[in-house]
Structure 1
């Protein structure tokens, strides 16, 4: 489960409610593409904007449509009590693993984050993925904290931010983290533009935004990087630079949501308010990149 491609789909809305048909269609597309796992209710799945019932529904739909493909369900929330309730719901839905980010309103201290993971790790029966995403949580993990958390029961993987663009620095980053965590805890790269570099540097998997909508293109990048031909992975990532440029300019969620709407995989205005997709010339740019790169 914690190798290869973990694809993170949107949780599309229609008229302010979870669009069940569209969501199931996205999951079925991932199954057809033979992704290694599905990350439901990650940041791309807008987990932070959905209430408990909506998240419970999304977890049930994802597991029901995924068949034999493992589903990792996001359980991040501001209050620990809500995290535990969401963990119960995800486990009851049949999730294969749980994804936990240290979500906050007040800035969290390292001891508070450790206690969050310690509490959850001892209360769940599923593998737990540590979601290190300072871009959304505004919390910076240290390697020392990762090492402490990774020693807890049920910790199975760490989803790290983008590695440095320089291959030597990327390798050093992964090596330094690997030195302080147990061998059974995998390291997965996020930040799609860094995927090829991260996989070449020793990350076991890619937690992918674009893979949630374009799994076949994402699988090609993973295959290139994992085939022992590092340059092929970097070449495939470089080919996708127009998409990465859109991600940098507008944010990956808005770009992917807009692409899903363009392709008919989601209704117009599929993001939870106040979030909005793109419109006008920006939408045309997304459509052109999807067509030019032949994303699939």
Structure 2
């Protein structure tokens, strides 16, 4: 479950409802490409902007249309009570794993975060992935806390933020985490621009925004990682630097939403307000890049 390419799709929507047909098209695209897992309702899936019923429906649609590809869904929420509800809904929908970030309005302490994971882990029958995303949650996991949470039953993976671009520093970071967690807990990299560094440092999984729409572009990078071809990982990632630069400027969600429109996979608008789409200049820049890199299928 926690190895290879985990593709994180957009959840197309407007202010009235989820666009179920567009979401299904994207899931089918991922299933046809044979990604290793699908991460529905991640940050790219805008899970924090959806109601309980909307989340449950997205989970159901993802599982029903994944053609056997394992599906993981995000269950983060402000209150533990609600996280437990989302976990229950996800499991009833037939997901293979859940993803949990320590979402909060008030700053959380390490004790509070451990309590969250401990409580949720006790309620699960599927594996849990720890979601370390300080840019969004504003919570910074200490290595000690990650090690403690990783000992809990049901924890099977960790989704870590970008590692250093320095190979030695990146390897040291991943090795340090491995020394703190049980051997069955897999370590995955997020932040697409850092995927090459993370994979070459020994990460088991790439949790990918770009892979959620362009799986055939991202799978060769994972295949290179699985064969230990470090130079090919770097070459393939460097080719995508114009995309990574747009991600850095505008955020992966806005870029991938615009890309979905350009490919005809999702209508416009498709983001939850108040999030706004790319402006016309950035959209044209993206279109040019997609054409230049032949990312049009």
**Shared fold per TM-score greater than 0.5:** yes
| C-alpha distance in 2 between matches for 1:24 and 1:65 | 7
- Residue 179 (1) aligns with residue 164 (2): no
CA deviation digits over 1:134-168, x for unaligned, max 9? Answer: 01100000110000000000000000001100111
CA contact (8 A) 2:15 2:273 kept: no
User: 1:50 aligns to what?
Assistant: 50
Q: Does 1:258 align with 2:258?
A: yes
Correspondence 1:114 to 2:134: no
Matched, 1:133 2:141: no
Measured against aligned partners, the alpha-carbon deviations of 1:167-205 in whole angstroms (never above 9, x if no partner) come to 111000000111100000000000101111111111001
**Inter-partner Cα distance in structure 2 for 1:51 and 1:273:** 14
Aligned to 2:167: 167
Tell me, in whole angstroms, the C-alpha distance in 1 between the residues paired with 2:160 and 2:180: 14
Tell me if structure 2 keeps the 8 A contact 1:157–1:185.
yes
2:67 equivalent in structure 1: 67
After TM superposition, give the deviation of residue 83 of structure 1 in Å: 0.2
Kept in 2, the 8 Å contact 1:14–1:267? The answer is: no
**TM superposition score normalised by structure 1:** 0.99
- Whole-Å separation in 2 of the counterparts to 1:280 and 1:179: 47
Q: Do 1:225 and 1:231's aligned partners in 2 also have CA atoms closer than 8 Å?
A: no
Report the Cα distance in structure 2 between the residues aligned to 1:228 and 1:96, rounded to whole angstroms: 27
User: CA separation in 1, counterparts of 2:292 and 2:102?
Assistant: 38
Aligned to 2:16: 16
Spell out the pairing of 1:147-226 with structure 2 (5 A cutoff).
Answer: 147-226=147-226
Give the Å deviation of 1:279: 2.5
Gaps of 5+ in 2: none
Q: Is the 8 A contact 1:200 1:226 kept in 2?
A: no
Q: Contact 1:225–1:234 (CA<8 Å) still a contact in 2?
A: no
Q: TM-score, normalised by structure 2?
A: 0.98
Verify the 8 A CA contact 2:15 2:272 in the aligned structure 1. Answer: no
Tell me, yes or no, if the aligned pair for 1:269 and 1:277 is still in contact at 8 Å.
yes
1:15 CA displacement: 5.1
Q: Is the CA contact 2:26–2:213 (under 8 Å) kept in the aligned structure 1?
A: yes
**CA–CA distance in structure 2, aligned partners of residues 57 and 89 of structure 1:** 9
Which consecutive residues of structure 1, in runs of 5 or more, have no partner in the other structure? none
Q: 2 CA distance for matches of 1:213 and 1:184?
A: 29
Tell me, yes or no, if the aligned pair for 2:14 and 2:272 is still in contact at 8 Å: no
Query: Structure 1 residue 226: deviation in Å?
Result: 2.2
1:36 paired to 2:36? yes
CA distance in 2 between counterparts of 1:141 and 1:14 reads 34
CA deviations 1:5-54 (Å, max 9, x no partner) are 00000000145310000000000000000000000000000001111111
Runs of 4+ in 1 over 3 A off after TM superposition: none
SS at match of 1:158: strand
User: How many pairs are equivalent?
Assistant: 296
Question: 1:99 corresponds to which residue?
Answer: 99
Distance (whole Å) between structure 1 residues aligned to residue 268 and residue 37 of structure 2:
27
Given that 1:188 and 1:204 are in contact with CA atoms closer than 8 Å, whether structure 2 keeps it comes out as yes
